[in-house]
Amino acid sequence: MLANILSGAVIGVDGLVIQVEVDLVMGLPAFSTVGLAEGAVRESKDRVRAAIKNSGYDFPPGRITVNLAPASVKKEGAGYDLPIALGILAASKTLCCDDLKENAVVGELSLDGSVRPVRGILPMVLAARKAGVKSFFVPSDNAQEAAVVKGIDIIAVDRLENAVEILAGVQSADCVEVDIASLFQNHSEYHIDYSEVKGQKHVKRALEVAASGGHNILLSGVPGTGKTMMARRMVTILPDLHIEEAIETTKVYSTTGLLPAEMPLMVIRPFRSPHHTISDAGLIGGGQIPRPGEVSLAHNGVLFLDELPEFKKNVLEVMRQPMEDGLVTISRAATSLQFPSRFMLVAAMNPCKCGHLGDLVKECSCSPVQVQTYMSRLSGPLLDRIDMHVEVPPVKVDELTQSEPGEPSLAIRQRVNRARKIQTERFKDASEIHCNSQMSSKLIKKHCSLDKDSETILRQSIKSLGLSARAYDRILKIANSISQDALWKSDVVVLLINIERGLFFCFKEFCYPIFSLGF
């Protein structure tokens, strides 16, 4: 007898509907799995046999052949245990179900018949809904995550016999539902806040502008100035996640198994801070079966690289393409996968090896050669992709000891949300553009027009400072982000300083205007 049942797989971070075909014929007892199955899938025969017997069912004698289609896609993981077991029971007529092909099933089986959770539930359910599947049977521990997807019935099962009885109509099925609005309301708070940061008004302002336009930013200064403290609070002022962004981010975390148990949907923007000893595969992604790296885990959020020059040079260089394209492509001999990587880079560094170059209190012990060697760890093309370079001076004692808290993150985030709302309306006809930092040359020409005086000054600055064409575009993008803040619309100011690291950004209170945009 032949039985068909649907299941799911994850290719990269996208789901794929898999058809599980079980053929049971008379003959010598045998159990074979075909369809490009990896080790964990081939081992399922022993788990399935024990689970069926320990659940009170008879394991049918004869030759069992399981085919996982399409056969051209590699199958991995233990999530096929439950559909294979149900297929065997259906082929042996132990399970009688007329609409078995209208249901999708996934889950790992224990030897006692209980169902264990698997990774990548969300992309599987999304693929099943797109394919027109009516209901999806998932492990109870994955039910909340799966129920985030609307338009398909999610049925949670604890044991093999539960799934059998529901499919046979003996037991009623209760569909799992999730209130997405309550998830955003209950899990969108942060335990850190910008009100805890003393002083550094211009740095916080720079971070606000970076958040408004999605710009990459580099903080440079002597140790103890609060670079890391401010960078870690960057996510608290980023604009609120939309449901589409939340699902995109959750797909990455679901695939890697890093989705928090208490949070079935990522309702806050991710913050990733890898150590400087990370490998290029750990940062970008890879492996024998490619997995997302830190740049993908930071998708729609912040990637913070502390002590930037301490990272290996080859690790930093492979980050250039994801910063430009918002996408990581990993090619292997058998396949090529793409992972999303639209993140905001926040980096921090000391001005030299000892960290005290330019410090007014402690003298720098580095020679000019050592300083040059330290700075040469960062290539020009990489620095050219960082929109804003901000010097972080030591905090004054009077500011450090003041009792009044600083401006809270919520107030800053409200301004950032207003700025992003303007950008969303502006780019509503460009589906791939969400903020100023992603503008193409065509959009820059359309939305960042300059008056004659401003254009003349900008031309002179480009020539005298030797800035690249990319820097020219980024200056306009940053200035555009400032202009979208109601407090700064009337007077947009950018200061260019010729320092070896590239573009230095400053504001009206601290500099004379170099050029103003004609908005």
pLDDT at residue number 401: 77
Q: With contact defined as beta carbons under 8 Å apart, do 15 and 125 qualify?
A: yes
The residue assigned the tokens 């503008």 is: 439
Cα 150 to Cα 152: distance, rounded to the nearest angstrom: 6
Nearest CA-CA partner of 285 in 250, 242, 249, 252? 252
Q: With contact defined as beta carbons under 8 Å apart, do 234 and 207 qualify?
A: yes
The set of residues, in sequence order, having a beta carbon less than 8 Å from that of 33 and lying 6+ positions away, is 41, 42, 44, 45, 66, 68, 84
Which pLDDT band, with edges at 50, 70 and 90, does 201 fall under? confident
pLDDT at residue number 286: 86
Cα 136 to Cα 125: distance, rounded to the nearest angstrom: 7
Supply 250's token pair.
């959750």
Nearest CA-CA partner of 302 in 364, 257, 243, 347? 347
Within 10 A of 151 (CB to CB), how many other CB atoms are there? 8
Mean pLDDT is highest, among 119-128, 240-249, 484-493, for 119-128
- Residue 288's Cβ-count burial label (10 Å; 0-12, 13-18, 19+) is exposed
Cα 36 to Cα 280: distance, rounded to the nearest angstrom: 29
pLDDT at 138 over 50: yes
pLDDT at residue number 484: 61
Nearest CA-CA partner of 122 in 133, 136, 134, 132? 136
Q: Which domains does the chain have, with CATH numbers?
A: 2-168 (3.30.230.10), 194-438 (3.40.50.300)
Cα 419 to Cα 351: distance, rounded to the nearest angstrom: 32
Mean pLDDT of the 143-166 span: 96
pLDDT at 193 over 90: yes
Is the CA virtual torsion 161, 167, 168, 174 positive or negative? positive
For 478, the enclosing helix (H) or strand (E) is helix 469-483
Per residue in 469-493, pLDDT (tens digit) is 888 888 888 888 887 654 343 333 3
For 473, the enclosing helix (H) or strand (E) is helix 469-483
pLDDT at residue number 68: 96
The residue assigned the tokens 């794929």 is: 16
Integer CA distances (angstroms), 8 to 15, 68, 86, 129, 295, in order: 7, 10, 15, 11, 26
More confident residue, 212 or 487: 212
Per residue in 59-106, pLDDT (tens digit) is 999 999 999 999 988 899 999 999 999 999 999 999 988 778 889 999
Cα 451 to Cα 194: distance, rounded to the nearest angstrom: 37
Per residue in 297-308, pLDDT (tens digit) is 999 999 999 999
Exposure b/e, 199-227, CB count within 10 A at least 16 = b:
bbebbbbbbbbbbbbbbbbbbbbbeebbb
- Alpha carbons within 13 A on the beta-carbon side of 157: 30
Exposure b/e, 23-39, CB count within 10 A at least 16 = b:
bbeeeeeebebebbbee
Per residue in 310-350, pLDDT (tens digit) is 999 999 999 998 998 899 998 877 778 899 999 999 999 99
Supply 29's token pair.
């007892």
Per residue in 434-473, pLDDT (tens digit) is 888 988 888 888 888 777 777 787 788 788 877 788 888 8
| Partners of 142 in the β-ladder | none
Phi-psi sector, 167: left (phi>0), alpha (psi -120 to 50), beta: alpha
Picking from 11-20, 105-114, 155-164, 489-498, which range would have the lowest pLDDT averaged per residue?
489-498
Mean pLDDT is highest, among 205-209, 301-305, 405-409, 422-426, for 301-305
How far is residue 10 CA from its own chain's centroid? 16
More confident residue, 519 or 134: 134
pLDDT at residue number 513: 31
Q: With contact defined as beta carbons under 8 Å apart, do 25 and 9 qualify?
A: no
Within 10 A of 152 (CB to CB), how many other CB atoms are there? 20
- β-pairing verdict for 108-109 and 115-116: antiparallel
Q: What is the DSSP letter of 38?
A: -
**What mean pLDDT, rounded, does the chain reach?**
87
Integer CA distances (angstroms), 133 to 84, 129, 391, 510, in order: 18, 5, 55, 60
The residue assigned the tokens 């890697």 is: 256
pLDDT at 499 over 60: no
Cα 299 to Cα 364: distance, rounded to the nearest angstrom: 38
- β-pairing verdict for 135-139 and 291-292: unpaired
Q: With contact defined as beta carbons under 8 Å apart, do 271 and 253 qualify?
A: no
